[in-house]
Each structure stands twice: as C-alpha cells, then as structure tokens.
Amino acid sequence: MSKHKFTRACAALALTLVAGSSLAAEKKLTVGVADALTGGGAVYGLPQANAVKMAAEEINAAGGIKVGPDIYKIDVIAYDDKANPTEATNAVRKLIDRDGVKYILGFCCSGSTSAVASFIGNEKAVMLVGNAAERSITTKKIPNLVRTRPPADYTGQAAGTFIARKGQKRIAVLGALDVGFYAQYVDSVEREIKKVGGEIIAREVFSLKDRDMTPQLTKIRGLNPDAILVVGYVEPAAFVYRQAVELGMNIPRYGFTSGSEEQFLRVTTSEQMEGVWDLRPTELTLLSASKNGIAYHANYTKKYNASPSPSSPYAYDQLYALKAAIEAAGTVDNTEAVAKALRNLAVPPQVVMQYQPVDGKMFDVNGQAYTSNGAFQWQKGKWVFVEDLPSDSKAYSQFLSTLK
C-alpha cells in the first residue's frame, strides 16, 4: 500500500469511527406517557408524568441507556387521557401509530388503564402501569404489560390485619365504593377483621366529585362505630376527615388515599387531620426512610416547586425498570425481548419504592410488582411512617396467578 493510500485509508477509518460514535451518541429513544393530566385523576396522573420526565433527565445526564455500542437518550411525550377510557385509547393509539412509540408509561387510573390493557397485547409495544390499582389489570397474563403498584386488595389484607390488631370491632366504611379497586380493598379489610370477630357495620358511598359528606357521616355517627375507614381520592377523603371532626366524631379514622401533605392541606387543616391513619403501600413520604426516596423528594420539589405525591414514584420507577430491561435485552426495537427482560428483572438500585421481589424478581409471572405496605399516621402536619404492615408478596402472587 502506498503512503498516500495508507493515509487515506486511515483518514476514512477515523472518519467512520468519529461519525459512528457521534451517531451512537445522538440516538434517541422516545417513550410515551398516557396519564390523567387534567380532571379528577390529575392528582395522581400529573405527578406521575412529572416523575417520568425527571427520571428521563436523570438517566440522560448519567449517560443514557446503553444498548451494545449505542447510547440512547430518552425523549418523553406525554398525553392527557383525563382518566377516561376512550381518551386513553386515543392517546395510546396516537403514541403507537403516529409517534412510533414502543414504550408507554404512566397510567394512574384503573378505567383508562383497563381500556388500553385490552388491546396492548396485540401491539408491538410495552406498557408499564403505575398507580392504577384495579386487580384485573394483571390477571390477564398480558406478556407485554407490567405494573409497579400492587393491587388494592393486597394492601387491604394488610390494612385489615392492622385494624384488627388495634382492637376496633365495628368499622363504618365511607368511600368511593363504586370504584372497583376501592371495593376490593374494603372486602379484604372485612375478611381480616371478621377473623377476630369484627364487622363492617356500614358501607356508605361518595362519588369522586362529592364534597359534602355530612349526610353519610351523620348516619354513620348514629350507628356508633368504633372507627371509620375512608377509601377514595384525596379531595373527597380530605373532606370526610374534616367533616368528621366538625361533626364531633372523636373516633379513629383509617384511610386508603395516598395523598401528600400538600394535597390534604388544600382542603383541611393539620389539626383536623391529626391522628388519621393511611394504610397503603409504603410509598413516598416527606420522612421517607430510603436514600433514594429522600433524593427523589428533594429533586422533585426543586424541579417542580411542589412536593411529589406519594404514589408518583411508581412512574419514576417504571423508567428505571425499563432502562434496566432494555440494557439486559440488548435492544430497543425488539419489544418482545424487552418485555421478557422486564419479567426477569431484579429490582434496579435506583428505584424509590421499596419492592418485595418474588423469587428475586421485581415483577412476578403476572407482570405484577409488590411493595411493602405501611401504616402512616398524620402527626403535626406530616405523614409519619409508623410501622410495616405484614404482607406476603409471594402468597399473593400465587393467588393472583389463579385469577382470570
């Protein structure tokens, strides 16, 4: 080879390498978010969308997703589904058909999530569900769907054991019982308190848009219960807590709401909330025990100038789980391989929630993840983590596998 030819060959090689590396550096992976950004579900959906965007920025800043020799930077497109099934279908169709998105995150609310889950199995896409707690979402064995939040009845069982241990026998329930997963939570509580001779003496209903719950509370007060259990979205639940105090009901108040301090204080005062229990998955609190949780809370608050809702890390964790699965599968294009990798994933170290792996894996065979459950109590303006609630993720996973 002549000197000239050699120089030219070297230059060409160098150019190819430079061009190649610069192309690799500029690869982009677009992930979609379909969530309730407006309307009643936005208290859960908007923080979830924010959490995914924040996780994407963190991952990009840390070097992106490594797939073989390529590095992918994450781009997030978020669409509002108003927690409505038709809107959710439209949003996801837009993400898949028009935007060419293969990975869809978010999904705070059960109705809209179930609508998308009904067709996602036929798509070359992977769906990661967050806060939506309806059990049936992960009973259909959809191979390309996983969920970070445990079903409501898994938590209800633990909550029932806790209430039974506290010694209250006659429990009055007030909640959004026409919403399937809230009813499932209450059924699980009832099963547990019945074991110690307790009973649910009233099941009063409010709708998610109701704000005056004094008629139901007055009726409940007349039944002289030992405690009340409130299940529902944050705002109506906050009104119940407030109005119970206003009606002079000085009895223990248990709940299943997952609202942040900020969200409750928009409706009620800290004094009116004092002593309220929230029996829920061990989600984020201001005094979160985990290092990741504290960092997440600080970063989110700095970025969005508002505290994150306790359930928002379900979506944050989705993106880290997806990153780990893509890196394990070694592909962004083969969604089947990524979905499979998700099912075999150990809990990534960056996640915020405290997951209870089943057989060492973050998601069980149903695509379901389990967090520990906890008893949180409102003390002097803050949700304080008091204790873990006994939860058997493996036993529940086996039970879930038996359902259709």
Partner 1 sequence: MNRILPLLPWLLALALLAVLPQVLTVKYYLHLSILALIWVIVAQGQNLIQGFTGYVSIVQAGFMGIGAYGSTLMGLNFQWPLWATMIMAPLITALFALATGYPSLRVKGHYFAIVTLAFNLIIVIVLVNYSELTKGEAGISNIPKPWGGNREAFYYLALVLAASLTLLAALIARSRVGEILLAIRQNEDLVAALGIAAWKYKLFAFVISAMYAGLGGALYAHFQGFINPEIFGVAQSLDAILAVILGGSGTIAGPAIGAFLVVFLPEFLRFADSFRLILYGLILVLATIFMPIGIVGIIKAAFARIARREVRHGG
Sign of CA dihedral 101, 106, 110, 111: negative
Q: How far is CA 153 from CA 112, 186, 190, 300, 361, in A?
A: 19, 8, 11, 29, 21
180 near partner 1, judged by CB under 8 A: yes
The tokens describing 16, both together, are 């190819």
269 near partner 1, judged by CB under 8 A: no
Nearest approach in angstroms of CB 233 to partner 1 is 13
* Binding residues for partner 1 restricted to 29-68, rule: CB under 8 A: 37-39
119 near partner 1, judged by CB under 8 A: yes
Distance CA 390, CA 207 (A): 30
Report the residue from 122, 250, 305, 402 that binds partner 1 according to the rule CB under 8 A. 122
* Candidate segments 149-157, 180-188, 283-291, 301-309, binder of partner 1 by CB under 8 A: 180-188
Nearer to partner 1, 64 or 308 (CB): 308
Nearer to partner 1, 140 or 221 (CB): 140
Nearest approach in angstroms of CB 349 to partner 1 is 33
* Candidate segments 2-10, 114-122, 147-155, 353-361, binder of partner 1 by CB under 8 A: 114-122
Nearest approach in angstroms of CB 89 to partner 1 is 6
209 near partner 1, judged by CB under 8 A: no
* Candidate segments 13-21, 59-67, 93-101, 276-284, binder of partner 1 by CB under 8 A: 93-101
* Candidate segments 15-23, 75-83, 312-320, 345-353, binder of partner 1 by CB under 8 A: 75-83
Nearer to partner 1, 291 or 404 (CB): 404
Report the residue from 48, 59, 64, 134 that binds partner 1 according to the rule CB under 8 A. 134
114 near partner 1, judged by CB under 8 A: yes
94 near partner 1, judged by CB under 8 A: yes
Report the residue from 65, 117, 163, 189 that binds partner 1 according to the rule CB under 8 A. 117
If DSSP states are collapsed to H, E and C, what string results for the chain? CCHHHHHHHHHHHHHHHHHHHHHHHCEEEEEEEEECCCCCCHHHHHHHHHHHHHHHHHHHHCCCEEECCEEEEEEEEEEECCCCHHHHHHHHHHHHHHCCCCEEEECCCHHHHHHHHHHHCCCCCEEEECCCCCHHHHCCCCCCEEECCCCHHHHHHHHHHHHHHHCCCEEEEEECCCCHHHHHHHHHHHHHHHCCCCEEEEEEECCCCCCCCHHHHHHHHHHCCCEEEEECCHHHHHHHHHHHHHCCCCCCEEEECCCCHHHHHCCCCHHHHCCCEEEEECCCCCCCCCHHHHHHHHHHHHHHCCCCCCCCHHHHHHHHHHHHHHHHHCCCCCHHHHHHHHHCCCCCCCCCCCECCECCECECCCCEECECEEEEEEECCEEEEEEEECCCHHHHHHHHHHCC
Nearer to partner 1, 44 or 277 (CB): 44
82 near partner 1, judged by CB under 8 A: yes
Nearer to partner 1, 30 or 379 (CB): 30
Count of residues in contact with partner 1, rule CB under 8 A: 34
Nearest approach in angstroms of CB 170 to partner 1 is 25
Nearest approach in angstroms of CB 341 to partner 1 is 26
- Can you give the binding site for partner 1, defined by CB under 8 A? 37-39, 79-80, 82, 84-87, 89-91, 93-94, 96-98, 110-111, 114-115, 117-119, 122, 134, 136, 140, 178-181, 183
